[in-house]
Structure 1
Amino acid sequence: METPNRQGRRRIVVGITGASGAIYGIRLLRLLRGLDVESHLVMSRSAHLTLNCETELRPADIHALADVVHANGDIGAAIASGSFHADGMIIAPCSIKTLSEIASGVTSSLMSRAADVMLKERRRLVLMVRETPLHAGHLRSMATVTDIGAIVYPPVPAFYARPASLEDMVDYSLGRVLDLFGLEASLAGRWSGVAAKRNPGDAAHVA
């Protein structure tokens, strides 16, 4: 999966849509910076609205976290071409609208075009889809993008990790996503199995 740029750094495109969960994209950008991964950010117009509803941050604050920022309407941007070398793309969060565009191949923005490029170039595309409940159309779109090479990763919390805060739950999901790119962020302990527990009376039933 590793495709270094001219400076030898890994490069990942980050998309942030208008689905609830802007915190995932924001935290992801901070993690990539800490991992010395070159990030290319594209945000939808709806993402700006969600950002205002869910955080105290401005778009400029999010832009400052990325190495390169591309306007969602700029279909001539570097990330719209397969000749642009990248390890892949993570859309965090991913709206149903963006999921549907990727599934259909009818891309109307740089966000969905860049995702389409990842698929045609056989690069990793991870979609942190945020919607619930799901109707059959949503599920069909998820199945379609999976069939054509994407990974659907809804940010579902893992309670066996015993999260103590919202930040813990966000970090766990993002840690697993970064695992898909071979990036170790050391955000959560690894599952090492659990010893079987028996009641004292069970011993009589063991041969």
Structure 2
Amino acid sequence: MNKIVIAITGASGSIYAKILLEKLLHAKEQWAELAVVMTENAKQVWQTELNNHDYRNLPVKFYSQQDFNAPFASGSGQYNTMIIIPCSMGTLGRIAGGISNDLISRAADVILKERRRLICVARDMPYNLIHIRNMETITLAGGIICPATPSFYSLPKSIEELAATVVDRALDLAGIDIKTFRWGQ
């Protein structure tokens, strides 16, 4: 059974994290544990973009960025999936550089060293060469870069439906069975 950690960084795109958490809570039968790490910047961005603090009401376990006693800070915790959504380029760079200076970068390091699934929903753009090389490094280490680039062929009718095209792709990559638009159906 899946043990999933979600990391929310301060990049713009709180809507992606909100929709992802809602969809995972609707798919509870597909995971045994769900943990969340949210940076202080992410909390500010959530308030700015979504005009609320609704993440506080979600029935999930939140961990502090400095809580290195969190179960997913060690491979023995056996978390098999980590989704960083949105993933700032600063976070991406620290992961690519092997700098485990907070719980997010430590958990990503653990996921990669254990050859488990790391999905980075990169939000910042445009990319400079440093970003591209960091993405390459993470990809070569076994991670998945999933840019927060929505698709339009499902004809989304709201910003939530548009954002869900990115979230659904990340959930597919995580192996979560969801009902979503499928090309050719």
Q: TM-score, normalised by structure 1?
A: 0.84
The residue matched to 1:167 in structure 2 has which SS?
Answer: helix
- Residue in structure 2 matched with residue 84 of structure 1 by the alignment: 77
Q: Secondary structure at the match of 2:165?
A: helix
Hey, what does 1:204 align to over in structure 2? none
1:21 aligns with 2:13: yes
**Structure 1 residue 87: Cα displacement:** 2.5
Answer 1 or 2: higher relative contact order, Cα 8 Å, separation at least 6: 2
CA distance in 1, matches of 2:35, 2:56: 10
Are positions 1:172 and 2:165 aligned together?
yes
Q: Find the structure with the greater CA-based Rg.
A: 1
* Distance of 1:32 and 1:54 partners within structure 2: 21
Instruction: Report if the CA contact (8 A) 2:119-2:174 is conserved.
Output: no
Does structure 1 residue 11 correspond to structure 2 residue 3? yes
Q: What is the Cα deviation at residue 66 of structure 1?
A: 4.4
Q: Does 1:126 align with 2:126?
A: no
Q: Which residue of 2 aligns with 1:191?
A: 183
- Alpha carbons 2:15, 2:160 under 8 Å: kept: no
Matched, 1:40 2:38: no
Cα distance, 1:46 vs. partner? 1.0
Runs of 4+ off more than 4 Å: none
1:42 offset after TM fit, Å?
0.2
TM-score normalized with structure 2 length: 0.93
- Indicate conservation of the 8 Å contact 1:102/1:145, yes or no: yes
Deviations for 1:72-118, whole angstroms, at most 9, x for unmatched residues? Answer: 11122211111112221000000011000100001111011111110
In structure 2, stretches of 5+ residues that fail to align are none
Q: Map of 1:32-181 to 2, 5 A cutoff?
A: 32-36=24-28, 37=31, 38-58=33-53, 61-181=54-174
Letter matched to residue 40 of structure 1: A
Decide which moves more: 65-74 or 27-36. 65-74
Tell me the distance in 2 between the aligned counterparts of 1:13 and 1:161.
Answer: 28
| In structure 2, C-alpha distance between the alignment counterparts of 1:45 and 1:107, rounded to whole Å | 17
- CA–CA distance in structure 1, aligned partners of residues 56 and 100 of structure 2: 23
